[in-house]
Amino acid sequence: MPRKCGIATFMSDILAAVAATHSKTQCLAVSVNDIPEGYDYPDVVRCEIEQQNLSSYLRAADFLNNNDVDVVSLQHEFGIFGGVAGGHVLALLRELKMPVVTTLHTILQNPSPDQRRLMDGVVDLSSRVIVMASRGQRMLQEIYNVPAEKIDLIPHGIPDGEFVDPNTLKAQFGVEGRTVLLTFGLLSPNKGLEYVLNALPRIVAEFPDVVYIVLGATHPNELREHGEAYRLSLEILAKKNGVDKNVIFHNHFVDLETLTQFIGAADIYITPYLNEAQITSGTLAYAFGSGNVVVSTPYWHAAELLEDGLGVLVPFADAGAMAREVVELLRDDARRQTMRTTAWNVGRRMVWSNVARMYMESFERSRLEQVPRIGKSLVPKTLDRKPRELPTMNLGHLGVMLDSTGIFQHATYSVPNFSEGYCVDDNARAFILSALLGELGADTQRVRALASTTVAFLHHAWNQPAGRFRNFMSFDRRWLDEHGSEDSHGRALWALGTAVGRSQFTEIRGVGAQLFAAGLPALGTFTSPRSLAFGLLGIHEFLRKPIGNAAAVQMRASLMDRLMDLFARSAQPGWDWFEDSLAYDNAKLAHALIQAGQASGNASVVGCGLQALRWLTDVQTSEHGHFRPIGSNGFHVRGGPRAHFDQQPIEAHATVSACLEAWRATKDVRWYEKAQSAFDWFLGWNDVGLELYCPETGGCRDGLHADAVNENQGAESTLAFLLSLAELRQSQNVLTSFNEPNAGD
């Protein structure tokens, strides 16, 4: 606290409770900030972490090690920590020299690969893990293979208050003489409050004195993204149902004392949550342990806590069942009183003083069991053993290059060149960047604006009669072609597949799915190797969602076969490549095979992609060890001279992306080092020693000449840099070692 979220409240409560268990216990807090300005924390917060800044996690580890902390108690929830799936927290855990006891507030039954990797890492780096429900114990053992002896079951804590008659507390809230139904917690659409409002007409018909109090502010994330739209929709629904006189919205994040009074005044507490996979609910624990009669949907925590008649469970999204159960409870005073008394008695083991004692026992076990760690963060590291400090993600120039139509192709210096208009290629790249920015936790409104504008451009580019995407548009919004190149069509499908598989916005996923399905058949007629590669990359993104699209799976198999055939026809000793020349965006061909082969379980396809990429990176490494892409002034034809200039940013990005894919496929950290080397080309480790990236504008210069840089900062080059930076930021979440030449088989 004062951050408004359930984990912030829990951390404040458990920290205070543990500190009170023994006069010599000293506690401090390390908090994570999700907004740049941070929060006005109390003095107990001694260190703060910037959510998306990997380096701040390492600084926090240094702080904890240098202050001789005995045990770290980590509160883990998806969405709190930065990076993909919250992977930045692993960087902190790896550096700590003391035991870590992790409380798992969410345990996913079907984690994504990134979430599984994160969970495995957290559990492995923790001495002990704490869960709040027996189901959590079973899931850790059955799904995540965690030894039973490493798991402690400790209930969610609750305040230790008095068992009071609700009627004695109602007057202070202006509801004396009325029957009070209560739901409290931060509001968001997954809470299912609309089903209570739909149940109210039947309840009020028999008990007209009922008042339903919804206590709590709108969740800060919901507020930032959608404002008060959800709350307003609930108010409208109450009026539509004719129960607006029976509903009170108390739009405040209340302190513990006020919350306790509200809970005490309730006759029935309701949790109508819609997500079954909720292993912990602090609001449910508070209400039940305080002696409330509880009516709840059967999400995991409720199903376990309320079994054996300790509460009433109703089906998800079933207003009729909820109305029926509430009415039956209100008819039976004796039943309600028995349930209240039983809940109160069971809740005594959940009071914070008891929970804190159990935490202290877990901490002590962790200290006795833990093999002392070497204080790694106290040992100075050479540069090769440290995660790289990456440049700040500056989106200033990207914003300059974007208008309401799309992103401009070219710039004169850093000024958009209107006369060159727009193209599908760059808008496709910009959309892919929007998806990566969303995953990295960038401002939602900014991400939405970029995603909406660029996907709208792709939608407008679709030429239904031709079955193809146009490519070039003039500044006055006239299309200059009936259809673009095969490569631009492939890039459009790559972006649209990304929309389906990775966009956080439902409406954009819908647009993407329609256009992807329409544009997919044309891939079967293409001959450009790069269009086949872009198509494969798009199909991979599209198939991230388990939607069972047979056409996409069949097309993937066909495109893999065709690229493999091209390689077999062209490759020979000293030339492990798909064509008789190296041209532009070269690494994408190998990238597509590695990714598609991994996804389809075809080891020979992965091997071919790795072979081609290994050869390409050797060709594009200078005698001094830095990245030297094939120049665009003639490229490189087999048997002929190689063009060294002009070197293009698109080549650096393609190599960064492909090498990261090879690293993920092989776990060989040498591929990661090759990706980093290609990225360093932007920063001046190149043939001329000049920086392509312009930190002042956030743009990237268009190319490297033999003695200078092209000072223009067009869309392709700027997006090449930003995409490379975003992909490297994501990769830092799962980098398991910074000092071993090979981190796996």
For the stretch 408-452, pLDDT in tens is: 999 999 999 999 999 999 999 999 999 999 988 788 889 999 999
Q: Report the pLDDT value the prediction gives residue 25, as an integer from 0 to 100.
A: 85
- pLDDT tens string 65-78: 999 899 999 999 98
Split at pLDDT 50, 70, 90, the class of 372 is low
- Domain identity same for 341 and 449: no
Residue that wins the pLDDT comparison between 450 and 741: 450
- Domain identity same for 675 and 698: yes
**Domain end call among 548, 570, 592:** 570
Residues 658-661: contacts with CB within 8 Å, 24+ apart? 658/587, 658/588, 658/590, 658/591, 658/594, 658/613, 659/587, 659/613, 659/617, 660/727, 660/728, 660/731, 661/591, 661/594, 661/595
- Domain identity same for 476 and 524: yes
- Residue of 535, 525, 524 whose CA lies nearest to 497: 535
The count of structural domains within the chain is 4
- pLDDT tens string 542-558: 998 866 689 999 999 99
Q: Report the pLDDT value the prediction gives residue 224, as an integer from 0 to 100.
A: 74
- Domain identity same for 136 and 44: yes
Q: Is 380 helix (H, G, I), strand (E, B) or coil?
A: coil
Say if residue 383's pLDDT is above 70.
no
Say if residue 231's pLDDT is above 70.
yes
- Domain identity same for 475 and 603: no
Cα radius of gyration rounded to whole Å, the chain: 29
CB 37 within 8 A of CB 45: no
DSSP line for 184-201: ES-B-GGG-HHHHHHHHH
Two tokens, residue 354 = 């008891």
Q: Report the pLDDT value the prediction gives residue 112, as an integer from 0 to 100.
A: 86
Among 4-8, 363-367, 563-567, 722-726, the least confident range:
4-8
**Domain end call among 551, 570, 589:** 570
Residue that wins the pLDDT comparison between 247 and 55: 247
Q: Report the pLDDT value the prediction gives residue 102, as an integer from 0 to 100.
A: 97
H or E element at residue 118: helix 113-125
Q: Report the pLDDT value the prediction gives residue 743, as an integer from 0 to 100.
A: 34
Two tokens, residue 260 = 């306790």
CB 249 within 8 A of CB 214: yes
- Domain identity same for 342 and 358: no
Q: CA dihedral defined by 580, 584, 589, 591, rounded to 10 degrees?
A: 140
Q: Report how far apart the first and last C-alpha atoms of the chain are (Å, whole number).
A: 45
- Domain identity same for 174 and 287: yes
- How high does pLDDT run on average in the chain? 90
In a domain? residue 398 = no
CB 125 within 8 A of CB 90: yes
Burial classification of residue 110, based on how many CB atoms lie within 10 Å of its CB (0-12 exposed, 13-18 middle, 19 or more buried): exposed
In a domain? residue 329 = yes
- pLDDT tens string 685-699: 999 999 999 999 999
Burial classification of residue 528, based on how many CB atoms lie within 10 Å of its CB (0-12 exposed, 13-18 middle, 19 or more buried): middle
Amino acid identity, position 188? S
The whole-angstrom separation of Cα 535 and Cα 563 is 11
Q: Report the pLDDT value the prediction gives residue 722, as an integer from 0 to 100.
A: 97
Cis peptide preceding 641, ω within 30 of 0: no
In a domain? residue 396 = no
Say if residue 387's pLDDT is above 60.
no
In angstroms, the Cα distances linking 586 to 616, 672, 706 are 8, 18, 21
CB 57 within 8 A of CB 94: no
- Domain identity same for 549 and 648: no
- The pair phi, psi for residue 502, each rounded to 5°, is -135, -10
Strand-pairing partners, residue 152, are 130
Residues in CB range of 690: below 8 A, 6 or more apart: 684, 704, 708, 709
The whole-angstrom separation of Cα 287 and Cα 184 is 9
- pLDDT tens string 207-217: 999 999 999 88
Q: Report the pLDDT value the prediction gives residue 547, as an integer from 0 to 100.
A: 66
In a domain? residue 584 = yes
Residue 590 CA, distance from chain mean position:
27
CATH of the domain at 582: 1.50.10.20
Two tokens, residue 156 = 């969610």
The whole-angstrom separation of Cα 400 and Cα 519 is 30
The whole-angstrom separation of Cα 724 and Cα 443 is 19
- Domain identity same for 373 and 438: no
Say if residue 382's pLDDT is above 70.
no
The whole-angstrom separation of Cα 280 and Cα 302 is 8
For residue 347, count other CB atoms closer than 10 A to its CB.
23
The whole-angstrom separation of Cα 497 and Cα 553 is 13
- Domain identity same for 174 and 306: yes
3-state secondary structure string across 659-718: HHHHHHHHCCHHHHHHHHHHHHHHCCCCCCCCCCEECCCCEECCEECCCCEECCCCHHHH
Q: pLDDT > 90: what percent of the chain?
A: 70
**Domain end call among 303, 326, 348:** 348
Amino acid identity, position 699? G
- Residue of 279, 303, 283 whose CA lies nearest to 292: 283
Name the DSSP letter for residue 601: T
Split at pLDDT 50, 70, 90, the class of 223 is confident
Say if residue 375's pLDDT is above 70.
no
Q: Average the pLDDT over 584-609 and give the result.
A: 97
For residue 48, count other CB atoms closer than 10 A to its CB.
17
> How many CA atoms within 13 Å lie on the side-chain side of 36?
2
- Domain identity same for 325 and 465: no
Q: Report the pLDDT value the prediction gives residue 238, as an integer from 0 to 100.
A: 93
- pLDDT tens string 275-309: 888 888 888 888 888 888 999 999 988 998 898 88
The whole-angstrom separation of Cα 548 and Cα 550 is 6
CATH of the domain at 16: 3.40.50.2000
In a domain? residue 211 = yes
Say if residue 459's pLDDT is above 80.
yes
- Domain identity same for 49 and 196: no
3-state percent helix, strand, coil for the chain, nearest multiple of 5: 50, 10, 35
Which residues span the domain enclosing 699? 577-732
In a domain? residue 416 = no
Nearest 5°: the CA angle 381, 386, 389 is 130
Q: Report the pLDDT value the prediction gives residue 125, as an integer from 0 to 100.
A: 93
Among 174-183, 253-262, 512-521, 701-710, the least confident range:
253-262
In a domain? residue 404 = no
Would you say how long the chain is, in residues? 745
- The pair phi, psi for residue 481, each rounded to 5°, is -150, 160
CB 530 within 8 A of CB 563: no
Q: Report the pLDDT value the prediction gives residue 55, as an integer from 0 to 100.
A: 82
Q: Average the pLDDT over 483-495 and give the result.
A: 97
Say if residue 347's pLDDT is above 60.
yes
Q: Average the pLDDT over 512-522 and give the result.
A: 96
Q: Report the pLDDT value the prediction gives residue 374, as an integer from 0 to 100.
A: 45
CB 676 within 8 A of CB 691: no
In a domain? residue 530 = yes
